Structure 1
Amino acid sequence: MSLEDNAKGTGKVWLVGAGPSDAELLTVKGRRLLAEADVIVYDRLAGVGVLAWGRPDAVYIDVGKRAGHHPIPQEEINRILVEQAVKGRRVVRLKGGDPLVFGRGGEEASALKRAGVPFEIVPGITSAIAVPAYLGIPVTHRDLASSLHIVTAHKKDGSLPDIRYQALVEGGGTLVFLMGVHTIRSVTAGLLAEGMSPDMPAAVLERGTRAVQRRITGTVAELAQKAEAAHVQSPAIILVGQAAAFQDMDWYGERPLAGVKILVTRPRERTLRLSAMLRAEGAEVLEAPAIRLVPVADKKDLDQALAELADYAWLVFTSPSGVHIFLEELRKRRMDVRRIAHMRIAVIGEGTAGELTQAGLYPDLMPDVYDGAHLGAALAREVKPGERVLLPRARIGNRELTEKLKDAGADVTDLPIYDTQYETLPWLDLEREFADGRTYAMFTSASTVRGFVKSAGDLRLSGVRALCIGSMTAAAAAGAGMETYTAAKPTLEALVELAKEAAAKEREDGRR
């Protein structure tokens, strides 16, 4: 549905908590609303990975606030929400953590109420609980803390808040101060002034749930000095209490890809499995599709080929997308798979075979080496002279495959069924994503490399470490100036193993 079409209806705003940054900590409802939204109004704390759940054609409005720099006043944010909703649009106001835990969601709700705009609140996981959990600290523990107190460490105008330190010290338990990077000295001094023991355990938890997360621990008396020496950046929280010294819950850092961020550049509809595999090994995954696969608009050649299916002896697929789009074209025409029952099917590799088997079909031929040249050679040994071969694939495909088939005497129909278009993500700042030195880009085809390069802008490509599924992909990445790593086999499983090997080597080098 376009924005213009939706403008005929009634607009609405959803104030959605995005959680602390890990894309998988977004609620199921939040993810659904992002996928349906016409407009997404977001801030920096929402997490770039979460934005990947939004529609590619949605309008993205960045109202991000950074410590010490507030480019868009709250009143302007309120105006934007009302303005977009009045136009009849479905608006998601995406807020880091929970919208009502020091997120100013109440102010935005009041503005919407006054303007007569319907809205809903979608709670999120607050960083006050999630960040300590990711960094090995239980905010409550039967032996250490029976209460939890969450406090903001600055006012909306940036000044120091009027914190009742005496009540916090007397109350005990775990104290969590949000948005406190620049007020650590004030917070610790206030606690000490009201009688807290200088030896009370404390921690600063920086950029929690992300690959670059850090835990700086000490005592209340020394925490500010330690944080300054470590050059702590926001977002970070201050945690004070006996739980800060807890040592038995370091689960995040035990996984092979902990501390590694990976940009997955596959087409949006094909990212799910690979992203899940990487996250299971501990990686922070940023889904950043570099290409979009679009069925061809002119169906004349496709219609003719499908009308002549009975005359073909072979059906050849060179990608999972080719399988998916071809079968979808059959469904659109109410042609079931019995129409290809007489044909032998060849695939380029395991990923393509896997897509085929989901439809209850199994390949008759798959080469030992998963590329066009080896597929062509294997087919040339099987195809009889004069046999018709149907090759539904991308408009720009490997010519070596068709040449080998023609040399073998086959009658080849090289049928373009989809075009490859480059993606541009308005919310993605690649320079910032690669600045931390923890990030790899993962490529599953040469076309994803080309799409990434096109969207890279001023990014220094020589600083990009590319995890590549095969030699052709690696050649494209190397040609663009990237540092390349190539999987042992052109499979998703081998790509994940490659990432683990690169991370292990990086850790080993770091210890030298």
Structure 2
Amino acid sequence: MSTGKVWLVGAGPGDAGLFTIKGMETLQQAEVVVYDSLVGQEILSRIPESARCINVGKRASHHTMPQEQINQVLVEEAKKGHRVVRLKGGDPFLFGRGGEELELLVKEGIPYEVVPGVTSPIAVPAYNGIPVTHRDFTSSVHIITGHKKQGAAYDIDFNALVHTKGTLVFLMGVSALSDICQSLLQAGMDQDMPAAILQKGTTAGQKRIVATVSTLEEEVKKQGIETPAIIVVGKVCALAKEFAWHEKLPLSGYKVMVTRPRDLISSMASRLRLLGAEVLELPAIRTEPLKDQTLLYKALKAVDTYQWVVFTSPTGVRIFFEELLKSATDIRKLAHLKVAAIGKGTKKALEEKGFFADYMPEVFDGEALGRGLCELCEGTEKILLPRAKMCNQEILAELAKKPGILVDDISIYDTFYETRDLLDRKKEFETGSIDCAVFTSASTVRGFKEATPGLDYTKVRAACIGRQTQAEAAALGMETYMAREASIDSLLTLVIELKGKTACK
């Protein structure tokens, strides 16, 4: 077997939007992922299902695996011929010990690449309205590790730091806050120099305490702080109140879980992030075309006998047209058909294929779709209904009420529940870390159940896209809320209302 390769990839400070494009592309090709505790949860949820994951921990004073052993793991996995991604919080070369890992890779002749990451000493102050440089205050920034061995003195020239008159950013220094502030004061720093401590920057847990070098420790004792956090010292800290922007976003400080099929990119998630939410995407289900499409191919050969083709999901649209191509059916044979879509997402998927829906119900569910088709059909009409193997029967129940309607209900894809996950979602919900779960279909609720065995579902506040989805969530005991309309826009509005606690159950 040929030697594999190692990529040292910086995952950024936490917000998935700050993960670089190259980093994401590299991660998606990984066969083995060796990751740190400081890698953001949003990034962990992007690791491909096919990749084998190795958690090496590495948070101050808490090491799942010694650095020397981590170095060896990278070499061993690469020698097996694997594509190995060493995923690190922030940037690999800024107190990430990336250089140490490269030393052994070079010695062993292992090919490697480095993908830099957005680093917390720049990004976290920025998310808190603190520019680390400003021509009216300072022209330099200095990044220092605040970590030191217990009982040992700092190997830092604090006099030199004070004389730079630059912004000072201390990483991993929360436990040594008192020592840092006292050392700066002893080195001659003005006791009224603005200083800040910034907790969990770029995530929903973001918190800022601004004081002075002489009072910051006291304020932290009063207000409390959690790790990870960074300490910023310099005149620019005084700008935080004026320049703060992230906390003004509608969903800042709100942590949302969005369930989706693995093969679909969630537009809901991206829009929530734009509004300031921290979003964890749970690929609750996976969809795959059925291997045996005999019934669909038979229907396509006789497509001229149908008057309608009805779609109940964007996935159904995608797979139908993929199988249409495989069956060597000329798409022009569909020209006579009327097309129905259950909702806006399905309608959009059809339009991307060049088809415009002749009918879409005002209420986006199977019952309304069936009822509307009954009103539109006159005399004997034949309907082709390509959809999921596991599906709601409400549309069939409604269509059965109208004599003369013939339905070929054909399964073209199957749904599988995803259970592999790197996050303890049970703990996240039970500790109140996740504020809200968003469900876009009844099947994603079922997938969520499979992925969270043992969870007390009464701890879950569920924002549901429609009646059937809400019923599925309520049956588990969740605190459920339903969007006024079964659309992404309406569901987004619901989440904003939930944050403000104004939604009606």
Determine if the TM-score, normalized by the shorter chain, exceeds 0.5: yes
Please tell me the residue identity of whatever aligns with 1:484: T
1:38 matched to which residue of 2? Answer: 31
1:94 matched to which residue of 2? Answer: 87
Find the residue that maps to 1:290 and give its secondary structure: strand
Find the residue that maps to 1:292 and give its secondary structure: strand
Please, which moves more after superposition, 42-51 or 154-163? Answer: 154-163
Q: Is 1:15 matched up with 2:8?
A: yes
Please tell me the residue identity of whatever aligns with 2:446: R
Please tell me the residue identity of whatever aligns with 2:65: I
**Superposed CA offset, 1:40-88 (max 9, x none):** 1111211111123322111111112233321211111111111111111
Quick check: 1:198–1:220 contact (8 Å CA) kept in 2? yes
Please tell me the residue identity of whatever aligns with 2:384: L
Question: Counterparts of 2:127 and 2:434 in 1: how far apart (Å)?
Answer: 18
Alpha-carbon distance, 1:447 to partner: 0.9
**Superposed CA offset, 1:368-427 (max 9, x none):** 211111111111122244422110111122222113223322221111111111112331
Q: Is 1:291 matched up with 2:285?
A: yes
1:416 matched to which residue of 2? Answer: 411
Equivalence map 1:258-407=2 (5 Å): 258-407=252-401
Find the residue that maps to 1:346 and give its secondary structure: strand
Alpha-carbon distance, 1:437 to partner: 4.2
| CA distance 1:72–1:252, change in 2 (3 Å) | same
Quick check: 1:198–1:221 contact (8 Å CA) kept in 2? yes
Please tell me the residue identity of whatever aligns with 1:404: E
Question: Counterparts of 1:336 and 1:50 in 2: how far apart (Å)?
Answer: 42
2:96 aligned residue (75, 85, 103)? 103
Equivalence map 1:82-231=2 (5 Å): 82-155=75-148, 161-231=154-224
| CA distance 1:150–1:158, change in 2 (3 Å) | farther
Alpha-carbon distance, 1:492 to partner: 0.6
2:464 matched to which residue of 1? Answer: 468
Find the residue that maps to 1:505 and give its secondary structure: coil
| CA distance 1:48–1:93, change in 2 (3 Å) | same
2:73 aligned residue (71, 77, 80)? 80
Q: Is 1:248 matched up with 2:210?
A: no
Quick check: 1:154–1:160 contact (8 Å CA) kept in 2? no
Please tell me the residue identity of whatever aligns with 1:415: I
Please tell me the residue identity of whatever aligns with 1:95: K
Structure 2: which 5+ residue stretches go unaligned?
none
Quick check: 1:152–1:161 contact (8 Å CA) kept in 2? no
> How many pairs does the alignment contain?
500
State TM-score, norm by structure 1.
0.94
Please tell me the residue identity of whatever aligns with 1:302: L
Find the residue that maps to 1:203 and give its secondary structure: strand
Question: Counterparts of 2:86 and 2:330 in 1: how far apart (Å)?
Answer: 44
Question: Counterparts of 2:243 and 2:72 in 1: how far apart (Å)?
Answer: 44
Please tell me the residue identity of whatever aligns with 1:313: Q
2:442 matched to which residue of 1? Answer: 446
Share of identical aligned residues, percent? 50
Please tell me the residue identity of whatever aligns with 1:411: L
Quick check: 1:262–1:284 contact (8 Å CA) kept in 2? yes
Question: Counterparts of 1:60 and 1:35 in 2: how far apart (Å)?
Answer: 13
Q: Is 1:63 matched up with 2:56?
A: yes
Please tell me the residue identity of whatever aligns with 2:204: A
State TM-score, norm by structure 2.
0.95
Question: Counterparts of 2:150 and 2:105 in 1: how far apart (Å)?
Answer: 22
